[in-house]
Structure 1
């Protein structure tokens, strides 16, 4: 039985700053029915506060504590482990890590860094890894969709550094099982009672199922037709939109 929902955000609730039709009303109805929800994302270009502010601007009825981002989980790990990171990240994300000690780095954090993925920055990260720094990545996403086209995400660059320095990155974010379980832990339900709704068949759908959750792939955002076969092979639901996904999961008509 489905009792709670994890929502991916970009590509599922909105695209390029515009809500998916019916998504705002859907969240409002779920709130009225007291359905526990978390909004989970591997976003590499926004702080957690920025993600929340953007959702509020679009009219979504959410609470700050319901937003669960990979960068916040990454920061918590650095604080717990005493990591002093070299941050190869997007400029818009830098405030999230600004209060960490970044002198004499003993770790390398890689997110979607956009134009900062240049030779100088990547080579510096490589040098630190060769000197023993640990490699930390936010997701292995290959691409994301923005302004109507697919664009490279952090995954290919993380893999390049792994190959060059002969190291293995610790991934914080989807599809890591620990990330899903951390998000579920605050919902007071079992993982198998939670459905993850996302547009990324690998990170959202297969990752959630591997973590013991239910999952639904939506045909919005970065969805590609060839993703359906992978979703079906994992026994995931497939829906045209987030509204249809919730209706399927709860057998309701929101």
Structure 2
């Protein structure tokens, strides 16, 4: 039985500020069927408040507990360890870390800083890591489909550069980290074998979900999808569908 659906946002529900065709109705249909929805995004250029606002403007209403972001996970991680963040992130995301400070040391937090990925900023992060700061990656995606419709370099390359230079591995907080999927699912009171993930990233969304134990993971041919992505995922997707509307039909047909 399928009781919960985990949905990626950019490239699945919307592209830029526009919902993808059929996506709003698909979300509504899943809700009407009584499925528990959670929205999981690796987007680190927008604060949580703006994500809520964007979805609301599209006609998708969600409560706070339904949205899971890497910044949210990072804030909880830092607070639990009483660490102060050194933020190498997009300026718009800074509000998600406002008021956070700690007495037990520092942690370098890397997201998609866009034009903030200067040599000076990366070198400062490098030096802090050498001095013993903890190392957090909000995501390590290779690319994302930008608002101009083209693929753009994501945070993963910069995380990898710092890992190479420091000979350290970052703690990953977003997809495909198993704990990210499991935290979202835990809030639904559903088991991993009762859930389906829908995403456009064969590596972070699909393989990540399946390795976390999620029952099924559907790859949509929207967003960053490129022909052949399904053959590059390990494990491969449970199914490849045209869009979120098709994914919703797949889920509802196999719900019981």
Asked if these proteins are the same fold (TM beyond 0.5), I'd say: yes
Q: In structure 1, what is the Cα distance between the partners aligned to 2:61 and 2:131?
A: 47
Partner of 2:251: 249
Q: Is the 8 A contact 2:12 2:243 kept in 1?
A: yes
Deviation at 1:121, TM superposition (A): 0.2
Distance 1:211 1:65 in 2: 20
Question: For 1:210 and 1:120, how far apart are their aligned partners in 2?
Answer: 37
Residue number in structure 1 paired with 2:217: 215
Secondary structure of the corresponding residue to residue 21 of structure 2: coil
Question: What residue ranges of structure 2 are gaps of 5+ in the alignment?
Answer: none
Aligned position for 1:194: 195
1:188, distance to aligned residue in structure 2 (A): 1.3
Contact kept, 8 Å, 1:139 with 1:203, in 2: the verdict is no
Structure 2 CA distance, aligned partners of 1:179 and 1:22?
A: 27
Q: Tell me the secondary structure at the aligned position of residue 197 of structure 1.
A: strand
Q: Which residue of 2 aligns with 1:69?
A: 69
Q: Equivalent residue for 1:3?
A: 3
Q: Which runs of 5+ in 1 are unaligned?
A: none
Residue 171 of structure 1: aligned partner: 172
Contact preservation (8 Å) 2:44, 2:111: yes
Matched, 1:18 2:46: no
Contact 2:143 2:154 in 1 (8 A): yes
Q: Is contact 1:231–1:237 with CA below 8 Å preserved after alignment?
A: no
What's the Cα RMSD here?
1.8
Q: Deviations over 1:179-228 (max 9, x none)?
A: 10000001111111100100000000000000000200000000011202
CA change 1:122–1:185 in 2 (3 A) is same
Matched, 1:131 2:134: no
Q: Aligned runs of 1:95-244 on 2, under 5 Å?
A: 95-101=95-101, 106-146=106-146, 147-213=148-214, 214-231=216-233, 234-244=236-246
Query: Residue 63 and residue 114 in structure 1: after superposition, are their counterparts in 2 closer, same or farther (change >3 A)?
Result: same
Q: TM-score, normalised by structure 1?
A: 0.95
8 Å contact kept, 2:207–2:234: no
- Mapped partners of 1:126, 1:204: distance in 2: 29
Q: Is the 8 A contact 2:201 2:219 kept in 1?
A: yes
CA offsets, 1:112-140, max 9 Å, x none? 00001000000000000110111100121
Structure-2-length-normalised TM-score: 0.94
Query: In 2, are the aligned partners of 1:231 and 1:238 still within 8 Å (CA)?
Result: no
CA contact (8 A) 2:207 2:233 kept: yes
Q: How many residues align structurally?
A: 253
| 1:92-149 alpha-carbon deviations (Å, 9 max, x no partner) | 0001111112799621000000001000000000000110111100121011011110
